[in-house]
Amino acid sequence: MPELPEVHTTVLGLRKKIKNLIVKDIWTDHKKLIKKPADFNLFKKDIRGRKIENIERRGKNIIIFLSGNKVLWIHQKMTGHLLVGAWEIKSTPVFLGKGPLSEKINGHIHFVVLFSNGKMMALSDVRKFSKIIYSDKKEVFGSKELKSLGPDALDGGMNLSEFKNIIKGRKKARIKQILLNQEAISGIGNIYADEILWKASVSPERPANNIKKDEFKKIFFFMKSLLKTSIGMGGDSMSDYRNVSGGKGAYQNHHRVYKRKDKPCYRCGSKIRRIKIGGRSSHFCPQCQK
């Protein structure tokens, strides 16, 4: 699933490529992606002629603001990623050019926004789990899902003291589960939770009420620095994620622990272990992370 750095990279790319464009039409071959409105023809009719005013990120959600106080809300879920280019739409969209957009990973297109200048924004999603909602701005931001999001992991207004209170408030919950809990802190997923905890030398199994003062500082510091580093690298493309031009990020080349089961720890040489915590895979060094 695209996490904060990947979604942030996508938003930055969309701002450069589609901001101020006018929507001409939309297309889909999988209407189940669109959770609202239920009437696809009404969706098409209402969005036509609207201008893209801005694009923002809320946790792992992409919010596209349109003229007339309308919003296109997209969550890419597990395997979705947004692309910008031009396709020939027949039974399925076909990219006729060369380069990254022509690669197979970018060819699972099931939703397209066509703009008046000929550009298109396409959603490629091999598993078709993505979520698309088109509604009034007030309704979208009043939704339970967005209102329940915790402070963003890169929120400059969240200081160490507030971070500690969030963690401590979960008492016996394990630190890995808290980092993944979008209602506690939004934006972090499995990749970065593993990487942050390795950097901080803290076991993913440690309960919140057992984290020491200096460890809070380390987790907080590495949460901020690591996410910013990944954004600078264009995100992580170990799996399906690609940027809006169809290219890969580079953070997957810098994993310290994620997906490194049985490989030597970069700090101490011990074998990296993989366990399940709350149904999610967790990678850590049993020697370094206590």
Q: Which of 3, 6, 205, 215 is catalytic?
A: 3
- The token pair that represents 118 in the structure block: 């000929």
Q: Give the span between the Cα atoms of 139 and 213, in whole angstroms.
A: 41
- Residue 51 is a catalytic residue: no
- Residue 207 is a catalytic residue: no
Residue 98 identity (one-letter amino acid)? K
Q: Are strands 131-136 and 70-75 parallel, antiparallel or unpaired?
A: antiparallel
Distance, C-alpha 130 to centroid of its chain: 11
What are the Cα distances from residue 188, in Å, to 21, 66, 191, 206, 251? 31, 27, 8, 18, 15
Neighbour tally for 145: CB within 10 Å: 16
Q: Which of 51, 224, 280, 286 is catalytic?
A: 280
| Contact present, 194 and 284 (Cβ < 8 Å) | yes
Q: Which of 2, 5, 93, 204 is catalytic?
A: 2
| Contact present, 20 and 113 (Cβ < 8 Å) | no
Is residue 238 classed exposed, middle or buried when 0-12, 13-18 and 19+ CB atoms within 10 A define those classes? middle
- Residue 3 is a catalytic residue: yes
Cα dihedral value 119, 140, 33, 242, nearest 10:
50
Q: Which of 50, 60, 174, 176 is catalytic?
A: 60
Residue with tokens 């809320």: 58
- Residue 2 is a catalytic residue: yes
**What are the residue numbers of the active site?**
2-3, 60, 280
